[in-house]
Amino acid sequence: MQRLNVVLELGIQVCVFLITLLGWYIAVVEVGVNWLIRHERRIVLGFSYAGFMQVALLSILVLYVQLCQGKTTHNVPRYNLPARESIRGSYECTNEQGDLKVCDKDGCSGSWRPPRAHHCSTCGVCRLDFDHHCSWLGNCVTTTRIQRFLCLLALVPVSATVGWLPILPRALDHISLALSVSRADEWCRKFWWDPWYSWIFIGGPPGRYIVGSFLGFRLLKKERGPEDNFPGNVIELPHLRLVLMLLFSVIFVALSMALLISTFLNISRGQTTLETLRIRGKMNAVRYIYVPSDRIEGSEHNLGEVFTVDWNERIYDLGFKENWRAVLAKDRHRDAEYSWPRLNPEIIQMLRKQT
């Protein structure tokens, strides 16, 4: 199963990479250079458009490749299990005895899994500050990498909006022309528009019109001659590749916007995506927090108590500003010594009052 996932995700990565490259070619070469500059003679607009799309799409490619890298290495905890007596602050533990978690899955073989780390079954490693495993990247997204992840998610709708702005009306005209040509064609009517299966065969009613327009573009392609091979013809004449790109853009923009909004809300609440999903799934479950005695916090003695906290409690929520500051700060785990995640001080204070 793990192997199948890895192969599937590799396929997705290759597709995303190729689609982005195709998008770069259409935007920079076909729209910017061939259509705006050579065909329309709008030199300043053409250069500005091609320049912006060049920077935006290459940034997307670089960020995407970076986020795909280090599948078995990035943010993998390599710390020894600390002695209980050496821990000075409050920490999340696994049971009422205040024990720390170890991981026996895959190759982890009993190594320490620090708080907020998670074992990713697809990548086969434990990951510090795990947020979620992303199949589009074939890799985990961690809090350390979330800045680049957010940049990628924000760049996709911005690039798509700028990219489609000058050519969207033409693309929509071409789609409506392709639909009317395909509806008027006898063969298309017989094998696609009239039969009942066109309503359910590919993605329901939207699929009926998508396939119908594809058939129309095939018919329109047959009508083109050598004289139609002028600079900018990809935009001026109905071409299927432009509409395919529109379809991919809509899918990528919808996914990016949904992830961007949910990640923004999670960070603002001091939660990872995994924690949010667990809160939804584990309504009656609890977490354990070890709190050292008030008088001796910071000393080397380890007299304290373990409390149970409901999963709904946002134990790592430090407030909007601090949550974002923590995410945008430098990598906490760059140092040789483990840096413990800070717990919500209000919750710790509330727990202390229970004693």
Under rule CB under 5 A, residue 100 binds Zn ion: no
Q: How far is CA 248 from CA 15, 26, 53, 134, in A?
A: 11, 13, 16, 18
308: which strand partners?
A: 288
Residue (142 or 266) nearer to Zn ion, CB? 142
- Smallest separation, CB 244 to Zn ion (Å): 30
Determine phi and psi for 87, rounding to 5 degrees. -85, 125
108 binds Zn ion (CB under 5 A): yes
Count Cα atoms within 13 angstroms, Cβ side, for 330. Answer: 2
- Are the beta carbons of 10 and 71 closer than 8 angstroms? no
Beta bridge partners of 18: none
Q: In this chain, which of 50, 128, 140, 259 binds Zn ion, going by CB under 5 A?
A: 140
Using the rule CB under 5 A, which residue among 87, 100, 126, 155 binds Zn ion?
Answer: 126
**Residues in contact with Zn ion, total (CB under 5 A)?**
10
Nearest to 320 by CA among 279, 276, 267, 273: 267
- How far apart, in whole angstroms, are the C-alpha atoms of residue 212 and residue 225? 23
122 contacts Zn ion (rule: CB under 5 A):
yes
Which of the residues 51 through 80 are near Zn ion (CB under 5 A)? none
Q: How far is the CB of 133 from Zn ion (least distance, A)?
A: 4
Verify binding: residue 102, Zn ion, rule CB under 5 A: no
The piece of 34-42, 137-145, 183-191, 283-291 that touches Zn ion (CB under 5 A) is 137-145
- Of the CA atoms within 13 Å of residue 122, those in its CB half-sphere come to 18
Stretch binding Zn ion (CB under 5 A), from 96-104, 157-165, 245-253, 301-309: 96-104
Q: Is 291 in the site for Zn ion (CB under 5 A)?
A: no
Footprint of Zn ion (CB under 5 A): 103, 105, 108, 119-120, 122-123, 126, 133, 140
